[in-house]
Structure formats: structure tokens, C-alpha cells
């Protein structure tokens, strides 16, 4: 079905771990069997590995007209057996999580207007929590072009999914978009005797009027593209450096123009991604625009040493066959802010990358989806897509595509994490396209997985 964008003003994990092999007891123990976890009825959108095992974020997919997100956290041991799970209390959505060296976990929860951090022990039992408050949010600079905003809210009016956290030792870095649509970053330190204590607050981007993006038909947002411009992305290094990135769209969130005016840093482009680096004490080091003349989405960000890697997808061309979207990878120098690399990744028709992680010899492993098509004059994404796992050279070129067994309908690889000497990937099979649930809402579903992947 053909349709176009329009803008309106707005301000139980079922596990099955493979059995291990035998071996001579006098010899060194055999390596653990590969983790192969199947999840029924939900996608896996994020995985992290740390003591004492694996953490996975499950998400039940929902129609555009239904509230969300609907997520829970599942904790697994190193072999993939479920240890515990955490489900947010009524009225709250679990947005993101971060694992700590102690084996404890911080989860970020959001209600309609409020945000809180909850500390979980190794069995996902709550230890303490902090209701995040920020009186400054009501007076942050605001570029008003009409629309809905709420000066007293820590979340934008149209979504709860605008909070991200990353571990800083036993504390966390957090970035969110407020009710004024400003982007703000925080550091919260944590100690058992005192819980979370805010160490600093930094305004990353001023508030501005934002616009919601709707569609003229369709019931599911396949890649989250209708909400992508509301989200924030964040990562932190072990030394405490923080990187935050957001999307700029000329039609719905003109951050480039507002950033240029507020910070006095001209950006001669209407579309793209803006990456801001903060020092360990919270002071702003600088910002780097990654510019485009067409719509561009951001889906993943990761700091590794002096490298800030970003991935997503970009509308490269209006193609009659619906293959005009390419994945991209970008690399920003954390110290200088220089854009080292921007490269499109064109594997098979439509492509998107959701996560990226460093490998040896300056290469990267990136995960996403490929082989889909999209309405060239709208946002309708096909039901069919294949899993995409690629090894990229330092310049962003594809060195090798890694074979991943595909399932039915939409296949997506959403998250990567180092696991032993290799990697695990979280994702989904049998997911919906934009129109899968138009006649039958039950088709808005997916089955998730956490798997070890073997690189050549």
C-alpha cells in the first residue's frame, strides 16, 4: 500500500541451552557449548555480558495505536540458562539497562512524565531507587515554533522511549530528552550506603518545538523510524568520557539550526546526526555534525578508546524498486571531534545497521538487516528482510558478510556483545512489516534469540 509521511505539531524468556560435550578429564576443560536461546513471542533488542552472565532486554512488539514500549530484563548465566527476570511495576516502562562490575544492574524506568533509576542485585531484586528530578529542565533555553511541550516533564509528550544509560563503574551516565525536547546528560554515582547521587548535569542541546511523524496507512513501525528523531543515543568509556548523539531533521526536529544558534557553531546542512562529547566531569568538549541532504536515522553508538562509532541508515536515493535506503557507519575522533569516516553499506536492496563493535586490526563487526524494500515515496517497509552481520574495514567498506541462519518474515540482528573469545548477538525472526497487522493484529509479533556467532 502506498502512503507518505505527514507531520503534525507536537511538542518469560524460554531458554534452551545446547548441551556440552564430554572429554578426557585429565585434559583442559572443553570450551562451553555455544549459547543458543530461543524466545517466543518477543524480540531481543539489547544484550550485554558481564559478571555473572548475560543480560537481555525483551520487547513485545505493538501496533502504532498501542502504548509502549513493553520490555522486561532477563538475566542468564554464562551458559544461557535463565537466572532471573525483572518486570517494571504497573504504570512504568523499562527503557534501558546497564550492567556493573559488581554484577548488579541499573534499569531506567519511565512513566508518562517521570524517570527513575532502579538498582537490581544479581537476581534482579530491587536494592534501591532514585526518582530523577531536575528543576532546571523547566527553564532550559527553548526555541518555540508552536506545538506541545511540558516544561515540568522529564520526557517528551509523544514517547517514553527517550532515555538511555551506560555504565560508569558502579554508576551510570544518562541522557534523556525532556518535556521541552531539550537533550540533557547526567552522571549518577552509586554506593550501597547512599544509593544514587547526581554528580553533574550538562545541557547537550537546547529545547525546541518538535513534530510527530505519522503515516497515512499501516499499523507497525518496523525500524522505529517514526520515533527515531525523538530518541537519544549514549555510550561511556571506562575513563568516564561520554558521547551522545541525536538526529536532526529539517521537517520535524531542526536541531542543526538550533544548535548552531545556541552554541555559535554554524552547520550548513538540513539533515544528519549530531555527536556531542563530554569529559568525565561533564563539561562539553565539542560537537560533530554528520551531515546529509536526505533523511538519516541513528540506531547505534559505541565508544572504544578514541573512537566513537555510529550506525543507522540513510535515504540514499529515490529508487523505483524500493531499494533506496542504505546502511551507514561513521567514526568520530573522541579527542578532536574530527569525522574520520562516513561510509554507506549497500549489501542487498534496503540495508540498516543497529549495532557496531570493534574487532582486531582496526576492523568492526556490525549487525542489522538487509534485503528489504520500502515505498520510495513513503515509509512502508516490506515484511521480508534478511539478517545482516558484516565485518567492516576501518574505512567502512565491507570485508566479509558473515552467514547467519534466517527465519521467516522480518529478520533483525539488534545487539552485539563480546562473549568469551567470540560474540553473541540478540535479535528476532518472524517479525512484521509495516502492513502485516493491518487485517490481523496478531501478526504484529516476533520470536527473539540470543546466539553465539562464529566469525571466519
pLDDT means over runs of 10, the chain (456 residues): 34 32 47 83 97 96 94 94 97 98 98 98 98 98 93 96 98 98 98 96 98 93 96 97 97 96 94 98 98 95 97 96 97 97 97 97 97 94 98 97 96 95 95 97 98 89
pLDDT at 32: 60
In 144-270, the DSSP E strands lie at 163-168, 171-177, 183-191, 195-205, 207-208, 211-215, 233-236, 242-248
- Give 11's strand partners: none
Q: Exposed, middle or buried, 146 (CB in 10 Å: 0-12/13-18/19+)? A: exposed
Q: Which three three-digit cell numbers place residue 399?
A: 570485508
Can you give the pLDDT at residue 31? 59
Q: The pTM is what?
A: 0.93
Distance of CA 335 to CAs 279, 306, 307, 339, Å?
10, 6, 9, 11
Residue 14: per-residue pLDDT: 30
| CB contact set of 419 (below 8 Å; sequence gap of 6+) | 35, 49, 54, 452
Predicted local distance difference test score (pLDDT) of residue 3: 32
Give residue 27's pLDDT.
58
pLDDT, position 30: 55
- Kindly provide the b/e burial profile for residues 114-133, where b requires at least 16 CB atoms within 10 angstroms of the residue's own CB: bbbbbbbeeebeeeebbebe
Residue pair 331/340 in contact by the 8 Å Cβ criterion: yes
- Dihedral sign from CA coordinates of 40, 44, 49, 51: negative
For residue 29, the model assigns a pLDDT of 53
Show the cell assigned to 427.
535479535
- Spatial distance between the Cα atoms of 211 and 340, rounded to a whole number of angstroms: 32
User: How far apart are alpha carbons 238 and 310 in whole angstroms?
Assistant: 18
CATH placement of domain 5-17+32-453? 2.130.10.10
120 to 14, 59, 208, 221, 250: CA distances (angstroms): 21, 19, 35, 31, 41
* Other Cβ atoms within 10 Å of 137 Cβ, number: 22
Q: What is the pLDDT of residue 75?
A: 97
Residue 72 has a pLDDT of 98
> What are the domain boundaries of the chain?
5-17+32-453
* Residue entry with cell 510527530: 212
Q: How far apart are CA 63 and CA 439, in angstroms?
A: 12
Q: Give the other-Cβ count within 10 Å of 360's Cβ.
A: 5
Distance of CA 290 to the CA centre of its chain: 18
217, β-bridge pairs: none
3-state secondary structure 341-382: EEEEECCCCEEEEEEEEECHHHCEEEEEEEEECECCCCCCEC
Amino acid at each position: 500500500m502506498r502512503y507518505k509521511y505527514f507531520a503534525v505539531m507536537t511538542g518469560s524468556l524460554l531458554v534452551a541451552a545446547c548441551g556440552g560435550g564430554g572429554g578426557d578429564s585429565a585434559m583442559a576443560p572443553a570450551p562451553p557449548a555455544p549459547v543458543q536461546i530461543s524466545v517466543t513471542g518477543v524480540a531481543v533488542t539489547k544484550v550485554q555480558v558481564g559478571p555473572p552472565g548475560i543480560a537481555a532486554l525483551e520487547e513485545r512488539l505493538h501496533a502504532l495505536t498501542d502504548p509502549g514500549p513493553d520490555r522486561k530484563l532477563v538475566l542468564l548465566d554464562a551458559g544461557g540458562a535463565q537466572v532471573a527476570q525483572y518486570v517494571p511495576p504497573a504504570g512504568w516502562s523499562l527503557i534501558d539497562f546497564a550492567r556493573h562490575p559488581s554484577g548488579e544492574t541499573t534499569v531506567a524506568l519511565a512513566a508518562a512524565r517521570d524517570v527513575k533509576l532502579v538498582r537490581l542485585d544479581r537476581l534482579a531484586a530491587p536494592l534501591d531507587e532514585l526518582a530523577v528530578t531536575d528543576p532546571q529542565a523547566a527553564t532550559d533555553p527553548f526555541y518555540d515554533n508552536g506545538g506541545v511541550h511540558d516544561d515540568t516533564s522529564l520526557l517528551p509528550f509523544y514517547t517514553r522511549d527517550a532515555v538511555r544509560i551506560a555504565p560508569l563503574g558502579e554508576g551510570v551516565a544518562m541522557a534523556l530528552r525532556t518535556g521541552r525536547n531539550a537533550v540533557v546528560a547526567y552522571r549518577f554515582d552509586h554506593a550501597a550506603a547512599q544509593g544514587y547521587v547526581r554528580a553533574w548535569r550538562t545541557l547537550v542541546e537546547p529545547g525546541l518545538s518538535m513534530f510527530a511523524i505519522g503515516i497515512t496507512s499501516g499499523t507497525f513501525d518496523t525500524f522505529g523510524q517514526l520515533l527515531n528523531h525523538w530518541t537519544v543515543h549514549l555510550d561511556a568509556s571506562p575513563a568516564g568520557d561520554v558521547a551522545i548523539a541525536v538526529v536532526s531533521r529539517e521537517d520535524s526536529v531542526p536541531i542543526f539550526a538550533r544548535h548552531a544558534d545556541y552554541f555559535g557553531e554554524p552547520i550548513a546542512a538540513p539533515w544528519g546526526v549530531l555527536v556531542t562529547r563530554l569529559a568525565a566531569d561533564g563539561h562539553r568538549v565539542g560537537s560533530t555534525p554528520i551531515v546529509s541532504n536526505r533523511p538519516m536515522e541513528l540506531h547505534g553508538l559505541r565508544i572504544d578508546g578514541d573512537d566513537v562509532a555510529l550506525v543507522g541508515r540513510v535515504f540514499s536515493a529515490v529508487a523505483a524498486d524500493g531499494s533506496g535506503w542504505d546502511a551507514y557507519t561513521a567514526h568520530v575522533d573522541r579527542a578532536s571531534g574530527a569525522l574520520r569516516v562516513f561510509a554507506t553499506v549497500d549489501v542487498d536492496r534496503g540495508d540498516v545497521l543497529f549495532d557496531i563493535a570493534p574487532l582486531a586490526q582496526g576492523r568492526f563487526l556490525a549487525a542489522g538487516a538487509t534485503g528489504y524494500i520500502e515505498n520510495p515515496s513513503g515509509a512502508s517497509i516490506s515484511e521480508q528482510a534478511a539478517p545482516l552481520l558484516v565485518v567492516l574495514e576501518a574505512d567502512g567498506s565491507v570485508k566479509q558478510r558473515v552467514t547467519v541462519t534466517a527465519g521467516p518474515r522480518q529478520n533483525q540482528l539488534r545487539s552485539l556483545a563480546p562473549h568469551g573469545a567470540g560474540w553473541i548477538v540478540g535479535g528476532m525472526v518472524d517479525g512484521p512489516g509495516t502492513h502485516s497487522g493491518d487485517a490481523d493484529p496478531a501478526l504484529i509479533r516476533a520470536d527473539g534469540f540470543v546466539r553465539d556467532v562464529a566469525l571466519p
